[in-house]
Structure 1
Amino acid sequence: MIGSIIWSKTRPHIVSIMLILGIAITVSYCISESDWVPQDSGHNSAIALGLLFGSALAISRFRGRTAVAYSVLLSLVTAGEIIGKILQSTLSLRPPLGIGSLWFMHLRLMTLIDRIAGWRIAVARGETIHDVGLFVFLSIVILWNVSTWLVWSVARRKRALEGLLPLGILLAINNHLSDQPSFAMLPFITLGISLIARTSFTYQNADWSARSVDHPDDLGLEWGSHSFAIALFISLMAILSPLFATPEGRKSLSDILRPVQELTAETAERLFADVNPPRSDTGYPAQGLEVNVIGPPPSQSRETIMWVQISDPAPSPKDSSGDQSPSPQHYWRSSIYSEYTGIGWLVAEIPSSPEPRSTTENTSPGRYMLHQRYKLATQPQGSLFAVNMPVTMTVNGEVITLQPNEVLPHIDLFDYEVTSWTVELTGEQLSNSTIDYPPQISSRYLQLPESVPQRVLDLANRITVGTDSPYTKAVRIETYLRNSYPYTLDVPSPPKNHDVVDYFLFEAPGGFCSYYASAMTVLLRATGVPSRLVTGYAMGEFEPSRNAYHVIAADAHAWVEVYFSDYGWVEFEPTAARMRFQRALNDSARSKSDLRLPAPVSSIYSPRELLILGVFLISLYLLITGVRWLTRPREASQRDRIFDLYRDIRRRLARVGYRTSTSTTPHEFITVFAPALSQKSTLFDALIEATDLYVETRFSFQSLSASEVDNVHRLWRRARAQRMSLWLNWVFTAPNRFNQLLSQWIREKRSRRV
């Protein structure tokens, strides 16, 4: 039912809809090619939603001013949602985290308000705004409203030119400022002129039908084909004119017409002279990210850094359904950073302890012994790698005892072993940890410079309001960052003298691991939770043939370690592109066969999954309904049958040269072509009877019997051979017609000279 209603409403306007969609795709593509911001700016959503909203307005009873106000208001709300991600972030939350959707929406809304307040203050002070969100916000509002105006002008006002002008001006400015080639406007011009012609014809045709003015049935096809040809000609002339009207174009044309010999010689010289051998890879040093000054993104090279073997069981292979049992997650830590400077981090100076920890006695609960063997493929730079809380290091058979919080020494080693007491804690254990931090921990890992903006501190308090648990604070901040900020490597560097965490939280289009880890560490410290930023490499891909993890340069990573008084430092993963560290809720949720495995994933559907499932089911229902409606047997009226048959006869005759002016009546058409068509008796009889029934039905509204219409159909089918004869005659006489046209043109030209 729904499909039939939608189809019946849109079918008469399908050509206009396709032209508008083509224009929208052209505009969207040109804006994407401009690359104004280093991420998806939401312009596709703005254009699509603007078109849908314009369609709804066009069929509504809203008047012009009310529609404008409604459109502007809704575009502002949509722009705020796209850049603030108030609902989008909420849909991506996982239920097991226990975080309320309303709380998260309120948090995102307050962050957006702070962001807008920052724009207002910067404008009032005449300062430079480095937040691309303002540009994205205004772009969405403009694109929404010009898209809505296009549909409104075509569907409601019947004036396509008025609707195309704002969009065309916007596209021309975009292409000019982004230095796009001139032919990028070709699809827009062609489709735009076609839309103008189509809208004009539709309006005129509706007017004729309302006044019962007879007109040829194939006028729309002729009108449309001529309009498209004119549009294409204008577009091509606009594209080719710079070749002849500008010095650059003439130079390009000259280059194209250069003699073949010169071009070949020049090409050969360019291709084979002074050819240098391919460059060899210089390799990447085995070190983590540099975060002294945050800005450059991590390398995406596939260069091998190292191979790591561990004592944990190997990951289980995927089953037939593609699922894989969870396995412990470890990061290969290299450097620890303690002091935040506002633009980056300084390496921690960890004091040595006079009493080394025993390598066999685990005095800290919630940990287990993990053996690691590292084989580095490149020259090590800085500290060597180890999993959190290393206690021994083996080099050439010699065992070196380490402090539990110590990083490994700076030694040029390519093969060594480490033993660590790594984490296997549950969420319940961490939630019940006491808040009694040693002085050396509080003084070092709660440090924040006075230059941290107040809005960063306010955001930290809003995220953690109502809880004193360090673990709950860490989970909330981790969840907020993972669900609120897109992961991207294409991030402009922070402005000079601008706090990097404030830039990431309120202005940047997204970020990578250094930004996420810095933000989580600063937000935790602002709420009184000791934390630190650490760097190294993520786990990498497991290679069964070597029973080791293959770590490449692209695995360089930064993450966060949070201090718990009863358990020490525990890893957290705020970066959206990486999997968070899985922890069971309590001891009973663990697998009895291996306590180190995380708890099974909850079977509860998230709101996002329910939304996707609902959209899929609704789409499937509409598809089935539409197919059933399109394939249902139809019983057309006799009036419609004779109208369709007459149009088909006239259209087929026009294709083989039997056409007249649009003012010719149906019976005048027979009179004009009777001498030529009377020789095809069956075809001529079908034309006469179809014309009589068509005129009789159209102008007298008399009912027809099915036998009368069936008789004309039979005559038309019997004339199939005569129709083929007409077509062949039209094809073979084409040269004669061309000669006649040429002779006529020559005579007219001579007469004008005389």
Structure 2
Amino acid sequence: MAHFSNRQGARGEETRRRVEEAGMILRLWQKLWTADALGMQCVALALWAFGYGIASSLRNTETESFLGVCLAAAGIGFGLAKARWNGIRASVWMAALGVLLVWVWGARLPQPLFDLCKAALAALWAWAIGANAEVDLDALRAAWRVILESSSALATRLQTWRLGLDRNVIINDALVRNMAWTLLLWLCAAWMGWFAERRKAVTAFLPALSLLAAVISYSEYRSFTLWLMTVLLLLLMGTWNYRDHTLRWLTQRMDYSESIGIDTTQAVLVLTLVFGGLAFVAPSVSWRELLEDMRNWRGQNETAEMLGIQQPPGKPNAAGGAQQPSLPREHLLNSASANSETVVMYIRTGELPPAAGASPPAEARRYYWRNAMYDKYAGSGWTTSASFDQTFPPDTPLLPGLLSGYRLVQLEVEKAKPDGVLVWSGILFRANIPLTIGWRVRPTSNLFADQEALLLADMYSAAASAAEYEASVYVPAPTLDNLRAAPAHYPEDIRLLYLHLPRSVPQRVFDLAEEITGGLSNPYEKAKAIETHLRAKYPYDLAVPSPPVNRDVADYFLFELQRGYCDYYATAMVVLARASGLPARFVSGYAPGIYDAPNTRYVIREKDAHSWAEVYFSEIGWVEFEPTASLPEIERDESRAFASENPANDESAARLLTRFRAERIFVWASPLLGLLTLAVVYYAFVERWLAMRLAPEAAIHLLYQRFYGMARPFAGAWTRAETSSEFLRKFIGRLAAWDRRASTAKLSAQMIANAFALTEMYHASLFANRRTGRQDAARAWRVWKRLRVQLLRARLLSILLRNMPGA
């Protein structure tokens, strides 16, 4: 019996120990979900996002220690704030400590410092054991000499780097760059730790968030880290605000409902999801011009280069093009390519059936095949303004709309060998291969924009690796009447880019433009007069020298050389057109080539490499002009009614655009759909679970408080010492006087019955002699669920009828 008793005692002890362990684990788990613990978890995650976002944007920089540096600095800053140090004192101390640690790391001093300490301890020991003992200072001097030499070398590198920064000379010193970034992260993280202890979320995050935004705006790498820090900031603002209020209530011994934590959690999560979702999908197109201006400030951003911040993915422009002013075809004239019969590509348009014989039929249209369009004339040649690369999947419309007055042509391109550059005619609408577009001006994000907005999209070039592809292009088909009727006012974006000329253009070029177009007010007549003048006055010649250094190309061609090839003609026409007030650009690509009628294809050879001019006409777009004397003029119809020549192509494009719009609308709406789904899940399941996990009395009190808040507008203004019974009477009385339509009368009766039932359950939980059970809370939940829908319906009806109950 005693043996059994001992066994029973041992079993009881084991059970008690397990219960205590479970209780400790439960208390620890609960502490992890307090406002303070959640806040510190958010700060730690924000430090990771900060360090990772900065590290992702840097190249040739040791970033492995960034997270450790951030955590250490934030921990020390938090500790100093906890110790109630003065802010100025703590700032100076943290800055000095950061500089010291970075210096020790940069000069590689840990081992020399260790040797110095070791030698100093040995010398002190020798001095301590006897005054007559000989003290060896050689090791001490040697260690100190190493420290001085390493520090001096590092100081020299820092001085060189600083001078380069002052003089805009790029000096890529990886060590100095590592030190600079480590110190910046140390200071930002220490600031965050200091203000995190004081629970000031915005102040804590501001320096780190600003630095990360500046770096990511330049590099465009890992931009989600900036979004993550913003979401964490919103969560912290709500969490610490709740903590501060509850601490103040506890200090002042104020009673508050247990459900406040649940209500606050709901509000913080919903607001964070809403604003975080909006921030994630908000278009950033309006900022890109500003950011690109920042990148291009003073020619190039030497500071970003010296700090090792990467260029955005795809920079420099994927479509190629060194951005040094040049004549695009000049390199071809130094080799046999200028007269080469080597086939570059075959292009089919599908417009004509096969024909017998080798001579081209009269019906074969004349297309210009482009691969780059230049806007920036620098006097010595052509380049492009800042362009933004954008990658498109196959069969994705590049424009969010269809163009009227244009012919939609389907191209089948077969290149002899891939060169990474896309070739097309007119305005590129889509391609059946992945491609990267270099935009000077991105297409409008409005999915239902008008044609004028669509025509403002400005492409520099397109890059693709495929040798064969299909493309849909819009080819302008204006008549002479259309061109003559085009007004002479232009959109602001067009005027800024395509009327600009450098100051280096001599005055005699402007005088010649005035001479050619004087007395003409019609934009088309001016453009045609310039084209005619160049074709008549300047003979075509490939054997011409390159323009002299520091000479304006157009001026040199027009007044001295007076002969040349396509680059000179196109340059001269664009410059003269701009001098006459006509927006114009320089286009590079290939001339039409030869039409192979039996095989229904255009054959493009190396000798067809060509440049031409385009002039912008309001309400029409860019129109090609041929100033080169060796090629025939472009023929245009005098007048005709435009009609689609291939309805099947138009229908296919319309279907593609409809699918694209639907996909874009879904993508833009997905955050809202996600929020709606979360709201449905929350109100259908989560809210009930949160309420039912409370004690039954607390659950009923929570539901009544929600009813009180939603029903307050119906019951009128709050009065002092108002009881729940008085509130119910006011609510019922005002509903009884509401509009007696059939729909509102039935709704009012349902609301009164449910409000009465919920109020009775609330009173019972407060004053009844029996204990409130789970079944009472469940019944209150069912009543509240119906009542909430009814209150929402009543609010909506009151808005529609403009008749609030009791108003």
Query: Which category of TM-score, normalised to the shorter sequence, fits these structures?
Result: 0.3 to 0.5
Q: Which has the higher relative contact order, 1 or 2, with Cα contacts under 8 A spaced 6 or more apart?
A: 1
TM-score after normalising by structure 1: 0.37
